[in-house]
Chain A
């Protein structure tokens, strides 16, 4: 009996140890990887894009030197902002902005153009339109008034709701403020905010170009914004191949 009891005790201790101590999901890891530097072979590079990471001593792999790898669900997918109108001056993207431009008009009139990308619904269209309304010192819109004001255009990102809002907030410089033309596009798991804000006359003059630009912005081929999370379409695409456990 003593031998059996010893075996049993050993079994209990082993299982307890396995259950409690063999999980490294709580450990902080430190490691080195090949430098992930933004590549800019075709002009401005969106933040979050990185060069391919290959192990140390890795031989070169033909035809991939220009490829950028999206760094996963948390990072920005690679955005193809197309060719912006020539009069727009490109500004450096910030940690918030995927693309940033400035356009100048007569009498020091300026307008600022930006593309911002957030995961999730980011509050929805109405909440964001009302946020822009408040930036112009204007009252909130309702769903009904928004539906009347909004224009929906097609783009590679899907439907984009475009609004044209006017108003000069108290104390603002009319040369730099007074009108916002903005668009909101939602994919399965991301929201794209296009915005042009500045001098009312200049924004009006640039509106056509802005809408054209919005309608061409897309996620670069091979890096779909919606692929990062499971979606009904992706779920349907799952093969019957089941990993053996």
Chain B
């Protein structure tokens, strides 16, 4: 038997499917327990949105994989289903139902994988009268360096959290300096310093960082806990050809914990530094005209939230009013806006923005599986009826 044949037998075997399902059960159990220590968001990233689970979890150095992650298990299960389907596929009426059921499961698994890889969820927090053309994801941060030298528009360079975590030097084409990430803090505490204190405690030597200290603290694990992500960076001017020039624009503390943005001058103009939630800009804008929040009479239990918005998309000549309320989202340009909540003052509307290109996959999968089950049932039912009639005739 050829090696390829043995591999095909293995990948299409029922044993592999059962092993994957058992491993998935263990993974869900372990992931649920781990949420106590790491919080929902971190566990989702490390256990379910990864190929492998690594140990030790916090180390940036040597680590070993200890268990398959959600992506790997899902992918193997998907391949196993595909292989089993190909191996046993025989086009006849007897197997049609089973094929459809398998096909539906494959669509569901593939849809789950696509959703995980391509869907983007963010929030639009907007007050009455405001117009916004971006949503934000507060789970992730980005370091933005804004070139304000042009009088017409700002040029924004956004370095994502994943890159900040890796550290090292970030070469940014078109910028007159490099960014050297000296330290990244997953969660931090910022404290103001005395003027009398030594320089040793300063987080950085320029900007706000010269007046505060920063220290790493354990990540927030509670449901409503929020990490305060910070980084200490150095800005190093570059000469022609991307070779680092002498001198430095100093070290800077960038953090979600700072109450204001920071500015500096370079190459004949102003620049701005800011650590902020990841932004997703849209080619259209939304203006909140009115937000209403109704409670059940005599209680604080929400009955209904509704946002009256104006959607403006000049490129498609769209300018229309839309009412978004519970279970009546706005779908536009591949994105869905759900009424998610409201700000504490009862004035700000919070819309959940979901971009999920494969959102129809579960619906299709359910229809296909349901149809397959129906065919399978009907086939057996007809067979059973025939056998019963034959028995009676005898």
Residues of A within 8 A of B (CB): 4-5, 7-8, 11-12, 15-16, 18-19, 22-23, 25-36, 46-48, 52-55, 57-59, 61, 63-64, 67, 69, 71-76, 93, 95-98, 116-123, 127-128, 131, 134-135, 169, 189-190, 193, 221-224, 226-245
What are the residues of chain B within 8 A of A122 when measuring CB–CB?
Answer: 189-192, 257
A237 to chain B, nearest CB (A): 4
Q: A119-B256, A224-B345 are in contact. Are A23 and B117 (CB under 8 A)?
A: yes
A-B pairs, 5 with minimum CB distance: A222-B127, A117-B259, A74-B276, A227-B343, A47-B260
B266 interfacial contact with A, CB 8 Å: no
Contact assessment for B129 and A67 in the assembled complex, using a CB-CB cutoff below 8 Å: yes
A-contact 0/1 string along B247-275, CB 8 Å cutoff: 00000000111111111000000000011
Interface residue tally for chain B (C-beta within 8 Å): 114
Bound-state Cα–Cα, A61 to B11, Å: 59
Give the nearest-CB partner of B275 in chain A.
Answer: A74
Give the nearest-CB partner of B207 in chain A.
Answer: A95
Q: A15-B79, A19-B117, A238-B341 are in contact. Are A35 and B257 (CB under 8 A)?
A: no
Instruction: Count how many pairs of residues, one from A and one from B, have CB atoms less than 8 Å apart in the complex.
Output: 300
A-B residue pairs in contact (CB < 8 Å), sample of 8: A11-B83, A12-B79, A26-B160, A27-B160, A31-B158, A47-B261, A227-B350, A236-B302
What are the residues of chain B within 8 A of A27 when measuring CB–CB?
Answer: 160
Contact assessment for A25 and B140 in the assembled complex, using a CB-CB cutoff below 8 Å: yes
Contact assessment for B119 and A245 in the assembled complex, using a CB-CB cutoff below 8 Å: yes
Contact assessment for B160 and A235 in the assembled complex, using a CB-CB cutoff below 8 Å: no
B44 to chain A, nearest CB (A): 14
Contact assessment for A243 and B352 in the assembled complex, using a CB-CB cutoff below 8 Å: yes
A10 to chain B, nearest CB (A): 10
Contact assessment for B347 and A221 in the assembled complex, using a CB-CB cutoff below 8 Å: yes
Contact assessment for A116 and B259 in the assembled complex, using a CB-CB cutoff below 8 Å: yes
Bound-state Cα–Cα, A19 to B52, Å: 12
Contact assessment for B11 and A8 in the assembled complex, using a CB-CB cutoff below 8 Å: yes
Interface of A (DSSP majority class) = loop
Contact assessment for A134 and B276 in the assembled complex, using a CB-CB cutoff below 8 Å: no
B110 to chain A, nearest CB (A): 8
Contact assessment for B133 and A55 in the assembled complex, using a CB-CB cutoff below 8 Å: yes
Give the nearest-CB partner of A230 in chain B.
Answer: B224
Stretch at the interface among B13-21, B277-285, B376-384: B277-285
What are the residues of chain A within 8 A of B170 when measuring CB–CB?
Answer: 28
What are the residues of chain B within 8 A of A52 when measuring CB–CB?
Answer: 130-132
Contact assessment for B160 and A25 in the assembled complex, using a CB-CB cutoff below 8 Å: yes
Bound-state Cα–Cα, A19 to B110, Å: 12
What are the residues of chain B within 8 A of A47 when measuring CB–CB?
Answer: 260-261
Contact assessment for A73 and B276 in the assembled complex, using a CB-CB cutoff below 8 Å: yes
Contact assessment for B194 and A28 in the assembled complex, using a CB-CB cutoff below 8 Å: no
Bound-state Cα–Cα, A167 to B50, Å: 57
What are the residues of chain B within 8 A of A189 when measuring CB–CB?
Answer: 226
Contact assessment for B260 and A15 in the assembled complex, using a CB-CB cutoff below 8 Å: no
A91 to chain B, nearest CB (A): 15
Stretch at the interface among B90-98, B236-244, B354-362: B354-362
- Contact residues of B between 273 and 306, Cβ < 8 Å to A: 274-277, 279, 281-285, 287, 302, 305
Bound-state Cα–Cα, A240 to B327, Å: 8
Q: A15-B75, A59-B312 are in contact. Are A135 and B195 (CB under 8 A)?
A: yes
